[in-house]
Amino acid sequence: MIEIIPAIDIIDGKCVRLSKGDYEQKKIYSETPVDTAKAFEDAGCRRLHLVDLDGAKSSHIINYKTLEAIASSTNLIIDFGGGIKSDDDARIAFECGASMITGGSIAVKNPEVFKLWISQYGADKIILGADAKDKMIATNGWIDNSNLHIVPFINSYLECGITQVISTDISRDGMLQGTAIDLYSEILDECKGIYLIASGGVAGIDDIRQLEEINVPAVIAGKAIYEGRISIKDLENENLKRKC
């Protein structure tokens, strides 16, 4: 049974969503991310994907107080990303309540530091962010493109012990037009043994079913929830199924 992981993206301490990672296409959904997180927990969600979009753009953690508030107010397993570029950023994230941290840009631009975190904190605490446009890795809040193809990029870190990978098809993120089934099929075929977390493009439960059919173990849903295409009741029902 696929796990649905709700997302909260933060700008200026508020819950927002972007379209295709464009900061100029920002929509505010909640002024109180803690209340949003509590609603997800009440619906039976056990995990939360929390992204510091200010941090991603600024290359250092900014909204750590929001992380701390959610962690202290819920029992959610929080994976936190956005702007984690230094040892201090990683330390702050864990001290403020993150159960896991996601590294994307750092894994591209400073792999030795990222590998050190895997060794220091354990591979179960570090998630590889593999966000791509046309299967090429993008960094710095998706502002910059690289010359790295997503499959060998992921495989290089599987050799270092990484097991969890969050992959977003940037062209689909926030567009509610369906997920990158072909991309995820390729990743699952070529990158053996990973816990792949799909992200971007989810428009409703049918998209999640399609991911489940190709054996994607988990999916992040954001805008589809905030726009009411996946209701809190839907989350409750899906989480009940996982418990059966």
> In the chain, which residues have pLDDT < 50?
141
What pLDDT shows up at residue 144? 56
pLDDT at position 231 is 95
Strand partners, 50: 8, 80
- Residue 241's Cβ-count burial label (10 Å; 0-12, 13-18, 19+) is exposed
> Can you spell out the DSSP letters for 27-54?
EEEES-HHHHHHHHHHTT--EEEEEEHH
Question: Is 101 in contact with 123 (CB distance < 8 Å)?
Answer: no
- What was the pLDDT predicted at 45? 97
Question: Which phi and psi (to 5°) does residue 84 adopt?
Answer: -85, 95
Task: Give pTM, 2 decimals.
Answer: 0.92
pLDDT tens figures, 91-146: 999 999 999 999 988 999 899 999 999 999 999 999 999 988 888 888 654 555 66
Nearest Cα residue to 241 out of 220, 210, 207, 212: 212
Cβ(150)–Cβ(124) below 8 Å: no
- Per-residue pLDDT of 20-33, as tens digits, reads 667 878 899 999 99
Residue from 52, 54, 89, 131 carrying the catalytic annotation: 131
Cα distances (angstroms) measured from residue 29 to each of 32, 33, 34, 170, 183 = 9, 9, 13, 20, 29
Contacts of 172 (CB under 8 A, 6+ apart): 20, 178, 179, 180, 200, 201
9, 89, 173, 207: the active-site residue: 9
Contact by Cβ (8 Å): 216, 185: no
- Is 9 designated active site? yes
Q: Which pLDDT does position 141 carry in this prediction?
A: 47
Is residue 59 within 8 A of residue 88, CB to CB? The reply is no
